[in-house]
Every structure is written in C-alpha cells, then in structure tokens.
Structure 1
Amino acid sequence: MLLLEHDAKAALEARGVPVPAGAWFEAGDAPPALPCMIKAQVPAGGRGKAGGIRRAETAQQADTHRAAIVGLTIGGHRVLGCRAEAVIENGHEVYLGFTLDAAAGKVRVMLSEAGGIDVEDAGDAMHHALAAPAPHALAAAVDGLAEALPDDLQAAARDAGRIIGKTFLDLDALLLEINPLMLLPDGGWVAADVRLAIDTDALPRQPDLAALLEARPQAYGDALFKRHQGYDLIVIDPKGEVGLVTTGAGLSMKLIDEMTEQGVRPYNFCDIRSGQMRGDPARLIGAFQVMARAPRLKAVLVNIFAGVTDLGEFAELLLTALKAVPELEAPIVARLAGNGQERAAAILTGSGVTLEQNLDRAVALVSNHARQGADA
C-alpha cells in the first residue's frame, strides 16, 4: 500500500534520509518556513498536474492554498489534508527509484537526470539495473547508473543511492521513489518528494510504520481493516452498488471484472479466507458493517467455493452475522459450492437469503438488483 507523502517522509527521516522541513498543515497553522510548498496528501501520483501542489510566499497565501486543495479529488482519492514544507532552492532534480522485481527475484534500481513532474517522458534517459536485495548490491547498482549523470552530480547521487537503498530494504518496502531527488551545489542532497509503498504483511516487523497507519485511520482504512480483521476487504468504488463477500483473490477479481463489464459497479474487493473463520462470525460481521455504510449499495453477493470450509457451518455463521448487522438492508444472494453445500441449502431455506448455485445466474441476480435500484 502507498503511504501519504507526509508519513513516508517521517519514516525516511527517522532512518537518516534528509527531507525538507515540513509539517501537517491545518487551518490557522503557521507554515514551518516561507516560502513554502502546500502539498495535497493523498495516496496517488500526479498531484502537481492536478493542482494539488502550490507555492506560497506568505502565511495567508499558504492558508488560502490549503483551503483550495483540501476536498479536491486526485487519482480517485479525496484530499483530506496538506503538508507545508520548506522550498528547496538551487538544486538539480533527478529521479531515483527502487522497486521489487518479482519475476527476476531482485530489486530494480532506476536513475534518471530527467526528474520532476515530467519523469514519465524520460524514455531512454531512464536507466535501469537489477540488483540483489542487499545494501552493497543496491549501492553498486546506483554507482554504475550514476555514470550517466554529469560529473558534478555523480558523487551526491551515489551517496543518496547508498542511504536510500539501505532504507528501502530496512522498511521492507515494495517501492521507494524519490522524485525529485534534489542534488545541491554543496554536494548534499534532499529527498524533495517521496513515493513509498509498503508491504502490509511486514507490519509486525515495522512498528513505526504500523503506528503511522493507526494514527491516520481515514487515510489507511483498508490496510487497518486487514491488520485488525485478518483478511482483505478493500473499497474500490465508494459509490458501488454490489457488495462482495468472497474467498480467493483471483475469483474475487474475476467477479469484479465481470460486473464492471455488465455496467454494474462493485463496491469492494474481498478475500475473506473462510477456512480461517473457525466457527466465529466476526469476519462476516466486519464485512457487513463496512457494506452497511455504503451509500448506494443495492445487493450483496456471497460467493464461497469451499474446500476446507464446511458450508453448513458457514451458512449458520452467515445468518448469525446478518442478525448482528440489521442495518444492512440490501438483498443477499449466496452461491455456496463445495463441501457441505446440501446442508447449507437446508439451513438457508426460508431465511431470506437467495441461494443460487450457478455463479453466472447469481451474478445476474445481483446485477438486476443493482439496475432496479438505480431505476427506482
């Protein structure tokens, strides 16, 4: 998952990476420096081109910019807050990035003199290398790539690569981009903008990252849900019409694609991992509580293809969970296939849950509910 820039910089600064002086910026706050940049905090790229990054020369201008930025939607995310930070003058902008390359089993290291908001157009100016996930290997990769930079930039780029590469590994990161990395005339450098994607499965080894997430639940709701509930439920469309309670990431994605192709808007992705419920309805209750807050929900599809799971037991848990969340009023369509499906059918008879063993027909049923609700 992608951290907000403000939190990413806090994580990097704690590990010795220089970043511009900055602070979370609320109405009436004094900027940490003037001039300053007012920057939208949202887990998405393209903030500058979307009007989410603005320069302020005065405190009044900073507050005006903050008011204009909060509430914007950038990359599908509503801006909930801003960071104000000192302007870094007279630096040379380059791009430095590290990302896991799963196919190669290594880290892909990227360096380009064409840093800044137009880095997507770098083309052949973006230089790549693959390296083993070890500090010395990443540093060596940056050393080699830095040879493509002007002579006066190479030393600072190599020093930044050594420190930032080690930080990438220390954080168990999936992606760490510094764009721009400001190389300064005195040979120093500053991570002027940061894009950091973390592995949520590594949070038990990263207590400070876990604390950042807990401190900002509005920004990291999906990750916190998994951290506390033990499974993935991700809201993919806040205006979605169909809630999904499914097991298996691949099948869940397939359902989302099918509904989208039919013009129906799924509300969420879900991999509830029914085999780990162990007779406890808590996972189902948590999912239904999330769906009950969806403003345009018209139906819920429960799709469990069972192996280890006993569907008779699951059906009992399903009814218990629905009773525990009476505010969920959308019709429920269940497709339960596999171990214990006959007992599940008997348990659900007369419950108000529509049982449909054919997946295509189950999808058609919830799609019809969504369309009828939209027409009402």
Structure 2
Amino acid sequence: MQLLEHEAKSLAAAVGLPVPDGRVAGDPAEAEHVARELGGRVVVKAQVPAGERGKAGGVCTADDPTQASAAAAELLGRRVGRHVPTSVLVERHVPHVREVYVAVTVDGRARSAALLLGAHGGVDVEDDPSRISVVPVPVASGLRPWHVWNAAHDQPDLPASLVERLVPVAEAAYRLFTERRAVLVELNPVLVTEAGDVVAADVRVVPEDALTAPAADDPSARAAKEYGFDFVTLDPAARVGLVSTGAGGSLLLVDLLTGAGAPPINFCDIRSGGMRGSTDRLVCVLRELRRFDHLACLAVNVFAGITDITEFTRLLVRAVEIEPPTVPLIVRVEGNGAEDARRLLDAAGLTYVRSLEDLVDAVAATVRNEPAA
C-alpha cells in the first residue's frame, strides 16, 4: 500500500525535506560497506511496505560496520509483519533531543487535505489520537504557514522556535503530497537536534493508486471492483472487517486500529456518493468479509459533506437485513443528517458511536473480548 522507505525518502529529499544520509543495501556485505562509508553509529532498517517496523523488530542500531552487517543479516532473514525484506536501508544515526509528528492526508469531510501535527512522535503516537492536531488545508490556498501555527496552537509543548522550523517541513510535505497525488505523507518521527535542526527520520508515502489497484490474487478486491468500490486485503489473519469511505480517512482508520491492537483485515473505500440508492456495494463487502475465518468485529465509518448520511444509513440497515453479520457491528456516521441517521440505527438495533476515537476504542475492546476463532 505504500512506497518503501528509501523510495519515499528519495522523493522527500527532492522537495527539500531533510532526511538522514544513507543508502540501500541488498546483503550484509553491502550494509557493512555503507556503514563504513557513513562512519560512526548507523541505523539499519528493513525495507517493507508497512508501518510500525520498530514494534515488529524491523529496525536495529549498529555502532560499527561489523554490527551493521550482523543487523542486516538478521533483518534479511526474518519476517517483519507480513513481509520478508529483500533490502535494508543503512542510515547515519541522528542524535536528537526530541521527536515530533507531521503528516498530510486527505480530509474527506472537508473535501480537502489536512495537516496533522503532534508535539510528540515515535512508535506510540497513534495510541492516543487526541494528541494530534488536525487542521484542514483548502485546495484553493494550499498549505500556508498559518496552518502550521493553527495546528501548533493546540500543542502547548511545541515552543515557537520549533514551530518556525516545522513550517518549511510541513510545506515540503504538502508539496510532496500534491505532486505525487498521495493520500498520505507522514513524517514520523521528525527528529529535533540539540542545535534545533529538524530531520525526517522516517517517511511514509501512500500514493492514491496504491489503494485502488486490486491484487491479481485478491478475489474480494475483484468483487469490489465489479460494484465500483475499493477493497484491498491487508491481513487475512486479522479480526476486524472495515467498511468505510474516503481513501485518506480509511487509511487513517487503518492506522488507528492497528495502533490500538486491532488491525483490520482490509482497506475499504465504499465510495458512498456513488451508491445511488443501491445496497449492492454494502451487501458485497459484508459478504466478502464473512469469508475471513478470524473475523470478530465489523467497523463501519462513513462521513459525508454533501451526501445525505441518512440515505446511506437506510441502505446499511437494508444491507444488514440481506446479509446479516455473524459478529458485532459498530457504526460511526457523521455529516449531513447524522442525527436522523442515528435514530435509524437505534430503531434497527444497531450499535453506534459518535467519534472516531470512540469507534477505535469500541472495536479494540470487542476484539479483546471476542474469543479467537
């Protein structure tokens, strides 16, 4: 779903984002050679198209070339998440005094981009979404310095001197986001050195077409394409089935659920605006998700700015009657007509929550309480 880190960093450097010096290595001997060229302490990182590599054991530090070779040998011979790396990125270690979070993604509700800013970065940043400020970025203006300052207003731990350093970082991230037609550009962490310089230690870029191109061996994706929506199987052994709309918002929910210990089986963009009164897409996705043996919960997250969310909810209720779920279903609807939609959910006996954070918490709790298949 995303570019490899070294690919993303090459694009980032091209738009002026500061990244550590480094090079890709395909075997331990090459990793040793790169480490010797860089000199000093290095970081060796498995190159796989997935986040949270640190938690999965995909990142090692090495004090000398010999250790870098050994780290590469270990990483190239092990599974990192669902992937086995065929290369590693060897980078110069950057001493730092703090980490922050910067990202640009799609805001489906505002029909624009959104800047995400957090005073703290690293592997656990998504465990608490309330720590991240979200500021819409209108297409007409693009990202401007005041968007960064507005986001920083809700981050009292960010001093003004650091915000000034983050403005060009955010602007470059937005430029990369628009030029590459991405649904996500994430810099996490952005390292802050003792001298006050900032360096993007990790860069994630998810192009739009990466979310909409079905794998040849993914029957669920092919079925979804027949009905005009997007379904990508992420982890068939996971336990959460996802029904959502908007590529950026759906991707954000994937990350939030994964951070909460409830990674989803799939990515889904149901494209609610094109349903035109038909339950076909919803029935299709509910039917396809039932095929996964470990399914323990269904999460529905749909928002609409122009589309009447009440109409979507009527279709959801009807689809559930046609294809009744065999596991708990938790719904979050937001947008035009949301209160009427929630009354429909009440009448149908369907469980709903009001906020994205509540949805993530409820799904994670359900998965913990449901026995594994």
**Which category describes the TM-score, using the shorter chain as reference length?**
0.5 to 0.7
Aligned pairs, how many? Answer: 235
The aligned counterpart of 2:205 is: 196
Match in the other structure for 2:183? 174
2:75 maps to which of 52, 69, 72 = 69
- Counterparts of 1:194-343 in structure 2, within 5 Å, are 194-200=203-209, 232-235=213-216, 247-250=226-229, 258=287, 261-262=290-291
RMSD: 3.1
Correspondence for 1:57:
63
| AA partner of residue 261 (structure 1) | R
| Offset at residue 232 of structure 1 (A) | 4.0
SS at 2:174 equivalent: helix
2:29 is equivalent to residue 20 of structure 1: no
SS in 2 for 1:45: coil
Contact 2:106 2:112 in 1 (8 A): yes
Q: Distance in 2 between matches of 1:45 and 1:236?
A: 23
Equivalent residue letter for 1:153:
L
Judge conservation of contact 1:110–1:128 (CA < 8 Å) in 2.
yes
Structure 1 residue 194 displacement after superposition: 0.6
Map of 2:164 onto structure 1? 155
Question: Does structure 1 retain, via aligned residues, the 8 Å contact 2:4–2:49?
Answer: yes
Distance 1:160 1:246, change over 3 A: closer
Structure 2 residue matching 1:78: 3-state secondary structure: coil
1:198 Cα offset (Å): 1.1
Cα distance in 2 between the residues matched to 1:242 and 1:10: 30
Structure 2 distance, partners of 1:22, 1:174, is 26
CA contact (8 A) 2:143 2:171 kept: no
TM-score normalised per structure 2: 0.56
Cα distance 1:159–1:172, how it changes in 2: closer, same or farther (>3 A)? same
- Alpha-carbon spacing, 1:159–1:185, altered in 2? closer, same or farther (3 Å): farther
In structure 2, relative to structure 1, the CA distance for the partners of 1:184 and 1:257 (3 Å cut) is same
Residues 255 and 245 (structure 1 numbering): CA distance in 2 closer, same or farther, change over 3 Å? closer
User: 8 Å contact 2:102–2:170 — kept in the other structure?
Assistant: yes
- Work out which of the residue numbers 107, 110, 114 in structure 1 matches 2:120: 114
Q: 1:45 to 1:144 in 2, by over 3 A?
A: same
Deviation at 1:98, TM superposition (A): 0.6
> Deviations 1:73-108 (Å, cap 9, x if unpaired)?
334222222111111102421000110112321111
Equivalent position of 2:363 in the other structure: none
Q: Contact 1:45/1:75 (CA < 8 Å) preserved in 2? A: no
Q: Extract structure 1 runs of 4+ deviating beyond 6 A.
A: 240-246
How big is the shift at 1:4? 0.7
Q: 2:111 aligns with which of 105, 108, 111?
A: 105
- What are the Cα deviations for residues 100-156 of structure 1, in whole angstroms up to 9, with x where unaligned? 112321111111111011111344321111111356534321122234312342221
| Alignment match, 1:2 | 2
Residue in 1 that maps onto 2:305: none
Counterpart in the other structure of 2:98:
92
Q: Aligned residues: percent identity?
A: 29
Structure 2 residue identity aligned to 1:3: L
**In the alignment, what sits opposite 1:294?**
none
- In 1, Cα distance between equivalents of 2:196 and 2:82: 39
Q: What is the aligned counterpart of 1:79 among 52, 69, 85?
A: 85
Return the structure number with greater relative CO, CA threshold 8 A, min gap 6.
2
Counterpart position of 2:253 = none
SS state at 1:117 partner: coil
- Using the TM superposition, give the Cα deviation of residue 5 of structure 1 relative to its aligned residue in structure 2, in angstroms: 0.7
Q: Distance in 1 between matches of 2:79 and 2:216?
A: 16
Per the normalisation by structure 1, the TM-score is 0.55
Query: After superposition, what is the alpha-carbon deviation per residue over 1:175-230, rounded to whole angstroms, capped at 9, x for unaligned?
Result: 01100111233332111101111123xxxxxxxxxxxxxxxxxxxxxx6xx9xxxx
User: Which secondary structure does the structure 2 equivalent of 1:137 belong to?
Assistant: coil
